A = this chain, B = another copy of it.
């Protein structure tokens, strides 16, 4: 009988503590996220490569091989806890900025890897695709699973937008078990590859594992090579190797693969040494031998983690340079151990961290193949893009940013969003420290908004890195109008979204640019804020002299909902002109979508902010009162070549308010709106 091609190993990699010893490679064990990892800074508008998600990973690999443009991928394992999942998604956000070709998520058979929990392998890979916008590969092991189970996993992955599978045999259920062949089940990685091709044709790009020193359980290095060829012949698109310590090991493996007719791309798996203990641990588990010269350097450093990490960075950097220069590696796969410092350092040293890449659109694309047609989004969710993607996840097609009243696709409920781990990246305490544990007045709230804009620390010495309406720190674009924003927030114009005007800015502009080469970008100035009734009335009165400004005003109950946009049609606020193309207009102010956004935006006051405080507290009352009494306003200055008149409008607000207060004729907002409606000026 033909011996089974051995996969991975029979060992369990037990959980280790703290910074030392995380899981690695395709050992399918979940290891908790390192609690001490720095949250760092994440930006909403991270640059990414100008790539289309219409192409499959297999096609992208081919293109990279042809262009000899080196790439890298990053491997992560699913976290243990919901908080760990939130941190991991934040890490994805940050590492996406460096433009990996893809990330992959390991499979943890003991932990319901295809389940719906926030920590399952399936859901982590899905989140990376859907909300972070990364090409993602899901590991999958088959040993011990029925064909029906595997088919349901693959169907679920497909439904969730995942289209890359790393096909593995998997570990034995426990250390005392023996391999048993069950003809009703899938027993080998080769079986899994065949099964995927048989049932899903070319939908999935399939990767398989390669062992540069042979699998520890293989009869021989040569026999293992033959098993590897069988996996490729069954339909795998490329190979990622187990880790190794010397470039020559990988080179020999590639030469041997080519010699027996394996022609697909072979990507070296690199694990930066991060600590003495983790190295020893991994070596023991994977039955790899550490070269003597490496041991000689590491042993004396064993108590100095920093020194070992730096040595690991040095070692990996040199090895990658060798593999690139010799032409053996088309790219690099990193076993990140869910950590980012060492990997990022290496990527930057070898020039693979490409954060100067272009954005195809001003907002972040989802990597879900079902969303490749998406070209337009409403501006309202710019700072909460994950919420937008989540709420539109069931759409069959993307209605170009237009939401008809009758024929609109169902817009997902806001409450669903809170059920998901994307709800908040910060624990309650952190939020209280940022937003204030004990609010005394509305002005305290204005201060939170102002400090979020300026970046100044609050009275407790804490930096306000986010608000309920802004998932991330201020974007580069918003920073352009920071001073004006800070000024109006101090006056109770609580801004939650804005963009400056732009007239014919080159598409290569580092802040405002997006899309292909040699294009020109245009923007209308936009401002969205909460403010009190007196301010709204004064602003609307002033706007009578600014016919080029469109506005919408709405309150929580919807009793006031008014605009001067005729027919409630979408208004383009960001567009680009490119060679050989139609005009692209990816961001619109859509009055119908605003009706959905309004509910979410008002809801965030109470659900994310007021809920932090005791039920009867003054703090909660202040936030609740604001949500009940303030209005949500958006303003568009349509006259983009003339700059931005919105600041002037807001500058005049105070004196107009005073005038209103001084005169007996001061009228209510509702009364003003009624008169304007009668004159067909408002709708």
Contact = CB atoms under 8 A, between A and B. Distances in A.
Which bucket holds chain A's interface residue count? 20 to 34
Nearest to A588: B582
Nearest to A518: B548
B578 A582 contact: no
A566 B582 contact: no
Interface string A126-146: 000000000000000000000
A641 B518 CA distance: 11
A583 interface: yes
Interface stretch (A197-205, A363-371, A529-537, A569-577): A569-577
B504 A641 contact: yes
A638 B578 contact: yes
A581 interface: yes
A433 interface: no
Given A503-B504, A518-B638, A547-B518, A581 B572 contact: yes
Given A504-B503, A641-B520, A569 B548 contact: no
A588 B565 CA distance: 27
Interface string A634-646: 0010111100000
A569 B565 contact: no
Interface in A89-142: none
Nearest to A522: B577
B582 A569 contact: yes
A581 B571 contact: yes
A682 to B, nearest CB: 13
A565 B583 CA distance: 15
A518 B639 contact: yes
A570 B582 CA distance: 6
Nearest to A400: B582
A19 B580 CA distance: 55
Interface in A556-574: 564-566, 569-572
Nearest to A637: B579
A275 interface: no
B641 A548 contact: no
Interface in A189-237: none
A1 to B, nearest CB: 51
Contacts of A636: 580
A550 interface: yes
A555 interface: no
Contact of A575 (B548, B565, B583): B583
Contacts of A638: 518, 577-580
Contacts of A522: 577
A564 B564 CA distance: 43
Contacts of A627: none
A588 B550 CA distance: 29
Nearest to A639: B518
B588 A566 contact: no
Contacts of A29: none
Given A518-B639, A520-B641, A566 B580 contact: yes
Contacts of A570: 582
A585 interface: yes
A638 B520 CA distance: 10
Contacts of A585: 582-583
Contacts of A572: 577, 581-583
A580 B565 CA distance: 6
A29 to B, nearest CB: 46
B640 A577 contact: yes
Nearest to A641: B504
Interface string A498-532: 00000110000000000000101010000000000
A548 B571 CA distance: 29
A429 to B, nearest CB: 45
Interface in A601-654: 636, 638-641
Contact of A581 (B504, B520, B569, B640): B569
A588 to B, nearest CB: 7
Contacts of A580: 550, 564-566, 569, 571, 636, 638
Contacts of A548: 518, 579
A639 B550 CA distance: 30
Query: Most chain-B CB neighbours within 10 Å: which of A503, A569, A582, A583?
Result: A582
Nearest to A547: B518
Nearest to A584: B583
A590 to B, nearest CB: 10
A583 B589 CA distance: 12
A520 B583 CA distance: 14
14 contacts: A518-B638, A522-B577, A565-B580, A569-B580, A571-B579, A571-B580, A572-B577, A572-B582, A575-B577, A575-B583, A577-B638, A577-B640, A580-B636, A582-B585
Given A571-B579, A571-B580, 16 more contacts: A518-B548, A522-B577, A548-B579, A550-B579, A565-B580, A566-B580, A569-B582, A570-B582, A571-B582, A572-B577, A572-B581, A572-B583, A575-B577, A577-B638, A578-B638, A582-B588
Closest 5 interchain pairs by CB?
A579-B638, A572-B582, A565-B580, A572-B583, A583-B585
